[in-house]
Chains A and B, each alone.
Chain A
Amino acid sequence: QVQLVESGGGVVQPGRSLRLSCAASGFTFSTYPMHWARQAPGKGLEWVAVISKDGRDKHYADSVKGRFSISRDNSKNTLYLQMNSLRPEDTAVYYCAKDIKVAAADYYFDYWGQGTLVTVSS
């Protein structure tokens, strides 16, 4: 069965960096686009970034553009999110999610990890 397991969250000071990881199993990771989404405490969902199956194509939400970077290692079945210049408003549970469609992103998310909490606070 499909499993997505995030790690790397924690408490970090404003302006610092953090890297999240998402270990995938139960499907052919290298054939699917992958996404990161987040949810601030008690708030709704926000899409963050997408990466194509081969890692060449990436897109970001305006709120993180220029600060966050999505990447993947298909040999390790792992997705990453490098977060730089963190702000208090980046505080959220970060989820990795699998795109529903093979090859080209369809931007529907059929499997989600359980999330990892990032808290940006001094």
Chain B
Amino acid sequence: EIVLTQSPATLSLSPGERATLSCRASQSVSIYLAWYQQKPGQAPRLLIYGASNRATGIPARFSGSGSGTDFTLTISSLEPEDFAVYYCQQRSNWPLITFGQGTRLEIK
């Protein structure tokens, strides 16, 4: 099983600041990585797939990068609605799909 480790566990920032979230895989997943946003009581929302492709309707302030074992989700300038939990997910060795444990982005 490919283990995804997200860091930090919690990130405290203010609106307008830049957020950088990390996801590290226990072995290479090539570019087969996605990022999701989840707000309390809501379903996850796909942000990025294929490491760097924004999903339909996702604002340009969200960007993804990386390949192999190290990936980054960047939010260029935080909006109030961006404070949520973020998960990475790999599909490299489907159907053994795995998610990271999540990073909580909270308002400072």
Contacts and interface: CB of A to CB of B under 8 A. Distances in A.
A59 B49 contact: no
Contacts of A45: 36, 38, 44, 87, 89, 99
Sorted nearest first, the 4 A-B pairs with minimum C-beta distance are A107-B91, A59-B95, A112-B43, A47-B97
Interface in B41-57: 42-46, 49-50, 55-56
Interface residues of B, number: 24
- Chain B interface helix/strand/loop/mixed: loop
Nearest to B100: A44
28 contacts: A44-B99, A44-B100, A45-B87, A45-B89, A46-B99, A47-B89, A47-B97, A50-B95, A61-B97, A62-B96, A95-B44, A100-B46, A100-B49, A100-B55, A106-B49, A107-B97, A108-B34, A108-B46, A108-B49, A108-B50, A108-B89, A109-B44, A110-B46, A110-B49, A112-B44, A113-B43, A114-B43, A115-B43
